[in-house]
Amino acid sequence: MKRIFGIVAVAATLLLVSSKPIGKDQESVASDYLIQAVLWYQSSPEMQALYLQGFNMAKTNLVSFVKDQTDKPKVVVVDIDETMLDNSPFEGRLIHTGKSFKPEIWKEWSDKAKAKALPGAVDFTRFAKSLGVRVIYISNRDTSEIAGTLKNLNDEGFEFAVKENVFFKTNESSKDARRKQVSEKYEIVMLIGDNLSDFSTVFDKRDGSSEYARLNELKSQFGYRYIILPNPTYGDWEKPITKGCKSELEKYNARKGKVVGF
């Protein structure tokens, strides 16, 4: 029995250290690329410290922004997933089942309404409330998920988690139209998210290079009006890397091929 374990261990090690693309017979490991990112997200105090750092910075900035004269009431716009709520158990399910993102698996997770609040997130909404600043949630969750998400947010203790403060995806992923809609009534003084598209429409389209130039143009906003939080598990940053891939296997190999070594 020991010997079988030994052979399995060696085979697994060879699979992991191989620099060659993986083939169809190894397709079950196509979601293994998520292991380290999800582990970091779930098991490192550094991840928690980064969230706390982001929300502490947001609080400090908000104290100064409330002093600004504005015609409209001030609001902070926040994203939900991997900004206020931790969906890493969903990613964990993908790892343990060897599956890729599927809307039905997401719905199964989302319907539970059991995502935990991220460090500092609830406290930030309470702090904003204490300053008289509303928090608006702009998320690319589907509008069919509003009721469950509001339950989840309220169960976790978030302020402002009522229907009038949530703007979910209807027909487009870009959040620009929803930000403009919010701006008709409110002055957006700060935005918080884990994806650059949570801040500005200039990041909606990516090709793997021009977004860096746009980022540079907006660099003074980060840590100021824009508070970005860490999410190594997924995001629009992946799109240029896996563009054109037709299967999870192709994506796995494209990711591996993109890694720079020496």
The site that binds Mg ion (CB under 5 A) totals a number of residues, namely 4
Q: Which residues pair with 228 in a beta bridge?
A: 193
Considering only residues 30, 77, 79, 135, which one is a binding residue for Mg ion as defined by CB under 5 A? 79
Contact 230, 47 (CB under 8 A): yes
Piece in contact with Mg ion (CB under 5 A), picked from 28-36, 77-85, 121-129, 171-179: 77-85
Pairing of strands 226-228, 187-193: parallel
Contact 149, 136 (CB under 8 A): no
Amino acid at 210: S
Helix (H) or strand (E) holding 90, with range, is helix 88-97
**Which residue's beta carbon is nearest to the bound Mg ion?**
81
Name which of 62 and 85 has its Cβ closer to Mg ion.
85
Name which of 84 and 249 has its Cβ closer to Mg ion.
84
Name which of 81 and 211 has its Cβ closer to Mg ion.
81
Piece in contact with Mg ion (CB under 5 A), picked from 39-47, 76-84, 108-116, 209-217: 76-84
Considering only residues 38, 55, 62, 81, which one is a binding residue for Mg ion as defined by CB under 5 A? 81
Contact 115, 85 (CB under 8 A): yes
In this structure, the dihedral spanned by the alpha carbons of residues 17, 20, 22 and 24, taken in order and rounded to 10 degrees, is -140
Name which of 26 and 106 has its Cβ closer to Mg ion.
106
Q: Does 145 bind Mg ion (CB under 5 A)?
A: no
Other beta carbons less than 10 A from residue 157's beta carbon: 13
Question: Closest approach of Cβ 172 to Mg ion, in Å?
Answer: 16
In this structure, the dihedral spanned by the alpha carbons of residues 64, 47, 214 and 186, taken in order and rounded to 10 degrees, is -40
Among 52, 89, 35, residue whose Cα is nearest residue 232: 35
Question: Closest approach of Cβ 111 to Mg ion, in Å?
Answer: 19
Helices then strands, counting H and E runs in the chain, come out as 11, 7
Site for Mg ion in 166-205 (CB under 5 A): 194
Question: Closest approach of Cβ 149 to Mg ion, in Å?
Answer: 13
Considering only residues 58, 82, 189, 252, which one is a binding residue for Mg ion as defined by CB under 5 A? 82
Binding site for Mg ion (CB under 5 A): 79, 81-82, 194
